[in-house]
Structure 1
């Protein structure tokens, strides 16, 4: 029997994954439409390119959250091949907390970025720039929280994400 908390976590993970998939799908469709319009009809959507850039920013931030969720985030794990046991766990905690602190600083400075554009009135495809940029403080804030929590949870896998275990 699963707990309500575990069910909520699984639901949030599915929503995150669905959002990233929908965003990437929309980016492919919009970019494809731009290519067809430019090559076949010598026209295009003037708002599509700036919107695609904004969508890339959102996809990157949501992807970083999903990577941190699954312990697949970018990391230098060379040292972990040479340490084991308690030292390895301590090193994991220290590095994840350091990454959480850096992410928290990025979130803090992201708030400043959003404040700069809040009253500016500029927009991309009818969306205010501050709303597009809001993913920076929100995404980095959530990333800081997720990394801090992951520091005290067991890793989802002992194996590195992209490299085989060294002998």
Structure 2
């Protein structure tokens, strides 16, 4: 029987995946329209390039969250080829907690970045810079939380991160 927590976690995963797909689709459409406008009509949308840069930032942060969710994040796993059992599990906990700490620090400094932009009132293409950059502290904060939680959960696979499909 599925627990409420499992249902919520799956629902959050679907929302994340849907947001990433929608964001990537919007980026492809907007970039394609910009290319067509420039090449066929010698014009373009003045707000498209800054918006595309912001969308790439958001897609990268949401992608990092999805990768951490599925234990597919980038990792240096050379040592895991030489250790097994309890030592491997301990190393996994240590590395995930270290990554969570680094992500938490990035979130903390991201808050400072957003505060600077709120104070400056700067905007690009009518969108306040602080709003675009708010994904940095929010994304890294959520990443820190997810990595810390994964440190104490069983690994989804014993396969190395670079070859997850291997048995």
Paired residue for 1:122?
A: 122
Paired residue for 2:162?
A: 162
Q: Is the CA contact 1:81–1:165 (under 8 Å) kept in the aligned structure 2?
A: no
C-alpha distance in structure 2 between counterparts of 1:44 and 1:129, whole Å: 22
Over 3 Å counting, the alpha-carbon distance change for 1:110 and 1:64 in structure 2 is same
Give 1:126 shift: 1.7
Paired residue for 1:9?
A: 9
- The CA deviation string for residues 98-147 of structure 1, in whole angstroms up to 9 with x for no partner, is 00000000000000000000022221232100000000000000000000
Instruction: List 4+ stretches of structure 1 deviating above 6 A.
Output: none
Paired residue for 1:102?
A: 102
CA RMSD, Structure 1 to Structure 2 (Å): 1.3
Over 3 Å counting, the alpha-carbon distance change for 1:112 and 1:139 in structure 2 is same
Tell me, which stretches of 5 or more residues in structure 1 are unaligned?
Answer: none
Paired residue for 2:23?
A: 23
Q: Is the CA contact 1:100–1:145 (under 8 Å) kept in the aligned structure 2?
A: yes
Tell me, which stretches of 5 or more residues in structure 2 are unaligned?
Answer: none
C-alpha distance in structure 1 between counterparts of 2:17 and 2:165, whole Å: 28
- The CA deviation string for residues 37-71 of structure 1, in whole angstroms up to 9 with x for no partner, is 00000000000001000000000000000000000
